[in-house]
């Protein structure tokens, strides 16, 4: 009988064990073979845990046991996860991981190692939790030339923005509530500043376009500065402010990955994704567009994705060629953020619509707020330099640009 091992017995790792035990018969049927738990590696002590006899503190017994054919890595962080995963692959064991930090930092190396040893390194759980997105991208949609991917890839920030949109809660109060409910960490930086979403769009970009995209190459802006009044004004114009992780391929062939708050049109389904849910919209020349929606985090949703990978891995006897990308040792294929263009939602101090038109051209929405400020949505796609020049032109007329958000067109 084949065995599996779990590295890291925290929330996700224990979820893998529990969900496997719960649905064991059904899972083995879908595997097409028998499978049982072999080892649980954790550096901590768990005296009262079930399966205490399976606990190990070193990777060696797992590497040495030929019955272990598949390993779930649920430790998080780059080390020691990277070393352990690489050793497992080199020992001829396939690995399934939920660790987005590991995939974003070391995916290229681990995919290469997997291929060299004719096993698989899968990471469905690393993006969008329970949402099937990795496998659909490289399998179901494999005939497509992709042009863009845009998603709500962080549940914590979506929960916070949702409270701002639906309940007029300000950022600080919504963050405190998210922490109270356990959706946000005590130190919420990785979520709130967009780093978590950044890692996920790196993974999707690498897979869709075939070259490793590192987090450092992605223009990343979080939601800490999103003002409640802009959330409300945007809504009144038919847009919801969402933290959008996105990659687009430009006409010059380069790709442009970004993470930032954007104003999303209400008839775009992404703007209707509420609470801690995640969603990803994919555009390709065959499908036009498709969207995937579900729980972006949580014990069993993430465990479900890890187990889905493990079930396919035990069925396979070779490396899947479609789920891979290269390290090209260059960022030439990534466009600089200065080339990013979009329609803009803009809020200024009191301003005449004619003046705003003179500076921004045609407007698709305009409104004077209760406080006498002006809000507009431009018809034209503007880049950051154009927005800066417009702010300067406004300033010369005594008008201050107070806020601006790029618009995600459906």
200 is catalytic: yes
Q: How far is CA 36 from the centre of its chain?
A: 31
Using CB under 8 A, pick the residue from 6, 12, 17, 27 that binds its own copies: 27
Q: Among the residues of 137-182, which ranges form H helices? A: 155-167, 171-180
Q: Which stretch binds its own copies (CB under 8 A): 66-74, 180-188, 223-231, 303-311?
A: 303-311
Residue of 11, 30, 176, 369 that binds its own copies (CB under 8 A): 30
Length of the chain: 410
CA atoms within 13 A on the CB side of 190: 15
- Candidate residues 185, 286, 353, 385; the one interacting with its own copies per rule CB under 8 A: 286
Which residue, 61 or 298, is less far from its own copies as judged by CB? 298
Both tokens assigned to 131: 């949402």
Angstrom distance (rounded) from CA 13 to CA 45 = 15
Contacting range for its own copies; rule: CB under 8 A; set: 2-10, 134-142, 241-249, 391-399:
134-142
Binding mask 3-22 for its own copies (x = CB under 8 A): ----------------xx-x
Q: Which candidate in 163, 200, 211, 343 is catalytic? A: 200
Interatomic CA distance for residues 402 and 52, integer angstroms: 59
Rounded Cα distance, 138 and 143, in Å: 9
Q: Does 289 bind its own copies (CB under 8 A)?
A: yes
Site string for its own copies, 32-71 (x = CB under 8 A): xx--------------------------------------
- Measured CA to CA, the distance from residue 118 to residue 395 in angstroms comes to 62
Q: Which of positions 106-125 make contact with its own copies (CB under 8 A)?
A: 124
Please identify which residue in 269, 365, 384, 391 interacts with its own copies, judged by CB under 8 A. Answer: 269
58 token code pair: 């070193």
- Among the listed ranges 105-113, 156-164, 167-175, 290-298, the one in contact with its own copies (CB under 8 A) is 290-298
Q: Kindly state the helix (H) or strand (E) to which residue 307 belongs, with its residue range.
A: helix 299-315
Residues 161-220 close enough to bind its own copies by CB under 8 A: 210
Q: Which residues, numbered 141-160, are part of the site for its own copies (CB under 8 A)?
A: 141-145
Number of CB atoms found within 10 A of residue 275's CB: 13
Least CB distance from residue 54 to its own copies, whole Å?
19
Q: Which of 51, 292, 333, 337 binds its own copies (CB under 8 A)?
A: 292
> What is each CA distance from 276 to 128, 168, 220, 313, in whole angstroms?
11, 17, 20, 29
How many chain residues are in contact with its own copies, going by CB under 8 A? 59
Does 330 participate in binding its own copies (rule CB under 8 A)?
no
Burial class (CB in 10 A: 0-12, 13-18, 19+), 33: exposed
**Shortest gap between Cβ of 90 and its own copies (angstroms)?**
21
Contacts of 124 (CB under 8 A, 6+ apart): 96, 132, 133, 134, 135, 305, 306, 308, 309
Can you tell me the distance from the alpha carbon of 166 to that of 177, in angstroms, rounded to the nearest whole number? Answer: 14
Cβ distance to its own copies smaller for residue 125 or 394:
125
Query: Does the protein bind its own copies through residue 26 (CB under 8 A)?
Result: yes
Contact (CB, 8 A) for 280 and 149: yes
410: part of which helix (H) or strand (E)? none
Rank residues 222 and 301 by Cβ distance to its own copies and give the closer one: 301
Write out the DSSP string of 242-262. Answer: EEEEEEEE-TTS-EEEEEEEE
User: CB of 165: closest distance to its own copies in angstroms?
Assistant: 13
* Alpha-carbon dihedral sign for residues 8, 11, 52, 304: negative
Report, in Å, the least distance between residue 260 CB and its own copies: 24
Residues belonging to the active site: 200
* Residues contributing to the site for its own copies (CB under 8 A): 19-20, 22-23, 26-27, 29-33, 124, 130-132, 135-136, 138-145, 210, 267, 269, 272-274, 284-295, 298, 300-301, 303-305, 307-308, 311-312, 315, 317-318, 320-322
């Amino acid at each position: 009988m084949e065995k599996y091992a779990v590295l890291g017995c925290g929330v996700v790792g224990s979820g893998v064990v529990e969900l496997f035990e719960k649905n064991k018969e059904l899972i083995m049927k879908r595997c097409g073979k028998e499978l049982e738990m072999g080892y649980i590696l954790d550096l901590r002590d768990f005296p009262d845990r079930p399966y205490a006899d399976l606990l190990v503190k070193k990777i060696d017994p797992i590497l040495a046991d030929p019955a272990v054919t598949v390993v779930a890595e649920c430790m998080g962080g780059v080390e020691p996860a990277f070393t352990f995963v690489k050793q497992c692959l080199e020992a001829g064991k396939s690995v399934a991981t939920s660790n987005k930090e590991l995939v974003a930092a070391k995916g290229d190396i681990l995919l290469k190692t997997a291929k060299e040893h004719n096993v698989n390194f899968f990471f469905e759980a690393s993006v969008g939790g329970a949402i099937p997105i990795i496998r659909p991208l490289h399998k179901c949609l494999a005939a497509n030339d992709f042009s863009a991917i845009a998603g709500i890839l962080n549940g914590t920030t979506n929960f916070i923005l949702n409270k701002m949109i639906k309940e007029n809660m300000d950022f600080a109060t919504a963050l405190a509530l998210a922490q109270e409910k356990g959706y946000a960490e005590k130190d919420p930086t990785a979520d709130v500043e967009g780093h978590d979403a950044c890692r996920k769009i790196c993974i999707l970009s690498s897979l869709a376009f075939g070259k490793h995209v590192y987090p450092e190459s992605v223009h990343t802006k979080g939601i800490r500065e999103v003002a409640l009044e802009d959330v409300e004004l945007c809504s009144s114009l038919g847009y919801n402010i969402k933290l959008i992780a996105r990659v687009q391929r430009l006409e010059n062939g380069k790709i442009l990955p970004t993470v930032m708050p954007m104003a999303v049109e209400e008839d775009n389904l992404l703007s209707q994704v509420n609470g801690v849910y995640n969603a990803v919209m994919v555009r390709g020349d065959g499908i036009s567009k498709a969207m995937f929606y579900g729980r972006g985090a949580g014990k069993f949703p993430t465990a479900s994705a890890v187990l889905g990978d493990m079930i396919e891995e035990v069925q396979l006897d070779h490396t899947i060629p479609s789920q891979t990308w290269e390290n090209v040792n260059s960022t030439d294929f990534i466009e600089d953020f200065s080339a990013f263009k979009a329609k803009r939602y803009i809020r200024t101090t009191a301003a005449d619509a004619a003046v705003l038109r003179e500076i921004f051209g045609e407007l698709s929405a305009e409104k004077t707020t209760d406080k006498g400020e002006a809000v507009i949505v431009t018809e034209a796609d503007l880049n950051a330099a154009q927005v800066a020049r417009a702010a300067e032109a406004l300033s010369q007329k005594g008008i201050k640009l107070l806020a601006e958000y790029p618009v995600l067109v459906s």
